[in-house]
Amino acid sequence: MDSTADSSHFIYFIFLTFIPQTMQGVVTETMPWIPSLGINFTVVVDGLSLLFALLITGIGSLVTFYSIFYLGKKKERLNNFYAFLFVFMTAMLGVVLSDNLVVLYLFWELTSISSFLLIGYWYHRERSRYGARKSLLITVFGGLMLLGGILLLHVITGSFSLHEIIGEATVVQASSLFIPAMILILLGAFTKSAQVPFHVWLPDAMEAPTPVSAYLHSATMVKAGLYLVARFTPLFAVSGVWFWTISLVGIVTLFWGSITATKKQDLKAILAYSTISQLGMIMTLLGVGAAALHFDSWSDDIYIGALVAAVFHLFNHATFKGSLFMMVGIVDHETGTRDIKRLGGLMRIMPVTATIAFIGTFAMAGLPPFNGFLSKEMFFQSMVDVTTLNLFNADTWGILLPVVAWVGSIFTFVYSMIIFFKTFGGKLKPHLLPKKPHEAPFGLLLPPIILAVLVVVTGVFPNLIAKPLLEPAVKSIMPSLYGTDYHVHISFWHGFTMALMMTFGVIILGILLYKTANWWRPFIKEKVPRFFQWGKAYDNSMYYMEQGSYRFTLWIMTGWLRTYLNYMLMAFIILMLGTIFATDALNFDMSAISRVTMMDYVLSLVIAVTLVGVVFSKSRITSIILLGAMGYTISIFFIVARAPDLALTQLVIETISVVLYLLVFYHLPQFSNIEEKPKWLSVKTLISFGVGLVVFLISLSAYDTNFYDSISQYYIDNTYTKAAGKNIVNVILVDFRGFDTLFETVVLAIASIGIFGMIKLRLARREKNENK
């Protein structure tokens, strides 16, 4: 790319050079990352990516310029700020340019993390930390859902490449994982784009510095979800679930956001809810535009209009909302407050800012000649068109969409008027302002001026961007349009349509509502929140989740080993009994059993007597003596079973154990002196009987279940001939299976070293002595 050589230091201009290419098709570039897993950093620039990339880099440059003047050079940690901001910018570019879904997810999470860092930029404030944590929790929840969706798509198609997956759309649509993948990806998009009910993080993200709010929380990051929805439209749009979910969530968000925005006092909070509302509007348009996929030819189909409106409004919203946030930042900077109760009458003092605000707010409200007017007209037009759609029952329930959209737009008009007239109209209240207001320096004004100029220019001459930017973007959302002679043409005036009537209605009712605001605002402000508040719901759910897990942990983690032992043994009983009965493994075949002699009976009886004695003895020393007796009896069992080596070892070990018991005996506490009668039906007895029974059943069933012959004949034949020994046990221990012996020896060594260390190394006592 020779043409970029001059401007290669300014990424915005690099992206501008892509416009001619994206008008034709797509530009692809691949850098291998993990090729064996199909994960490569593939960059695909098409119309949609380019539109986003231009917004990101363009507004990013303006915001950076604005921040230079906004943030104090001495007081702020600017290195952190710009590092976070540029990490975010890179991540956002990565999201919109990646073709590989894993890489997309990676950048997606990087936007969440850098947004978290930027919201918590003033980390000494409690509210900033709260907002940062909230936004991270919600967006990362959505990000993980998105990852799930990506993996499901990978399961279906075997590819991580977006374009390959869309190429196999029919396979995906036939799959049973189609709906789960769609829902998961939508969850990711809704959380990021602050759709109801996941919008709660966005107002709290306003604790970030204003340039961050302008950039992340109006122009770019919150549009990542919209990008995702637009991206996946060719894949999922065949489904009615997609159409209805997106349209309904969008329209509810539009309505809720605009209503809530009217009751806020903080300018940034109004703008936050307005952003939520506008994002809902774009989401609705994308949902309705999905219907376009069901019609083969574009010529007689009006639903592509919804997509054009979505893409157009996405661009418009980025411009005017960016300028509005910067305007609020200026007002905050120059007056020291953002509270609309304290502001007013700034028009004379800050004329330039007021002009910017005028353009921004009325572009948002949808007045001519600003670009918001055009996209709102197109929005109304699409909403009206939905009612004629003969798909997904839209002809019956679709009437809800234009009505709700219209009411939402009225409130949009109202809060736009509130923003402008409460700040700049009315009387100046100098006694309420922390600072003496004056016009902002030129550096702060320039970026919003550029954006405002864009708002006007694209409003008056929409076709300036329609052909180079919007048309390729719409074609990316509807790939079937490639190669057709479809052209986006936005006319400023298109006759007395239904949409125009709706706009008139919005303006008239909006002015009426604004005039009577004192009468109905308290109702929204005080009565409605009494029933329901999303933020409260979030806080409560966090509180109860924390309390719940805390209580649960306290309940289950008692700190007593006996409780944990109970858990383990109960799990053993349940799992084992379950397995025995599930696999029908019980086997009481006694045919292979050997003859039981008198001796066996007697020895078993001795062991039973000592066992009962151990369990019921009242003093420890009796228990120890009885354990010794039991050990000796077991050695007799070994003798009867013809195992002299075992008997020898057992006797020695038993004696040593008894001596060891006696060694520590002196230090042991007595059994509790309370005469406790053993309860026959306590949990402990039940568990111990259960364990005994299960082990008994298993050994009995396993005894006669031989799948293969024993391999012992080999040892019997070869002990002397191959290993030069007559004692078969010892030869196995040191020759045939000497490795086990080696490590048993190591175990003994470790045990003895450990005992030595525990006795000799008394760090606590030594420290105490040194302190003295």
The least CB distance from residue 621 to other proteins, in Å, is 6
- The CA distance from 339 to 344, in Å, is 10
The least CB distance from residue 629 to other proteins, in Å, is 6
Is the separation of the CB atoms in 319 and 395 below 8 Å?
no
The least CB distance from residue 669 to other proteins, in Å, is 14
DSSP reduced 3-state for 100: strand
User: Residue 29 is inside which H or E element, if any?
Assistant: strand 27-34
Of 43, 65, 49, 14, the closest CA to residue 447 belongs to 65
Q: Which positions touch other proteins (CB under 8 A)? A: 598-599, 602, 605-606, 609-610, 613, 617, 621-622, 625-626, 628-629, 632, 635-636, 639-640, 642, 644, 647-648, 651-652, 654-655, 658-659, 662-663, 665-666
Minimum CB distance to other proteins smaller for 432 or for 659? 659
Cα-Cα-Cα-Cα dihedral sign, residues 335, 341, 344, 350? positive
The least CB distance from residue 672 to other proteins, in Å, is 19
- Burial track 709-720 (b if 16+ CB lie within 10 A, e otherwise): eeeeeebeeebe
- Amino acid (1-letter code) at residue 659: V
Of 314, 305, 316, 276, the closest CA to residue 48 belongs to 314
Is the separation of the CB atoms in 289 and 303 below 8 Å?
yes
Minimum CB distance to other proteins smaller for 330 or for 624? 624
Cα-Cα-Cα-Cα dihedral sign, residues 307, 308, 313, 318? positive
Minimum CB distance to other proteins smaller for 555 or for 666? 666
Minimum CB distance to other proteins smaller for 670 or for 771? 670
User: What residues are paired with 161 via a beta bridge?
Assistant: 100
Q: Cβ of 435: how many Cβ atoms within 10 Å?
A: 12
The least CB distance from residue 551 to other proteins, in Å, is 47
Minimum CB distance to other proteins smaller for 565 or for 599? 599
The least CB distance from residue 639 to other proteins, in Å, is 5
Is the separation of the CB atoms in 103 and 42 below 8 Å?
yes
Is the separation of the CB atoms in 82 and 43 below 8 Å?
no
Minimum CB distance to other proteins smaller for 537 or for 608? 608
The least CB distance from residue 655 to other proteins, in Å, is 4
147: which residues sit within 8 A by CB, 6+ positions away? 105, 188
Minimum CB distance to other proteins smaller for 661 or for 736? 661
- The pair phi, psi for residue 264, each rounded to 5°, is -85, 155
- The CA distance from 566 to 572, in Å, is 10
The least CB distance from residue 740 to other proteins, in Å, is 23
- The CA distance from 118 to 128, in Å, is 9
The least CB distance from residue 643 to other proteins, in Å, is 9
Minimum CB distance to other proteins smaller for 69 or for 637? 637
- The CA distance from 703 to 534, in Å, is 63
- The pair phi, psi for residue 30, each rounded to 5°, is -125, 135
- The CA distance from 462 to 95, in Å, is 27
The least CB distance from residue 750 to other proteins, in Å, is 23
Minimum CB distance to other proteins smaller for 554 or for 662? 662
Minimum CB distance to other proteins smaller for 118 or for 732? 732
- The CA distance from 366 to 361, in Å, is 9
Is the separation of the CB atoms in 350 and 440 below 8 Å?
yes
Minimum CB distance to other proteins smaller for 336 or for 644? 644
The least CB distance from residue 615 to other proteins, in Å, is 12
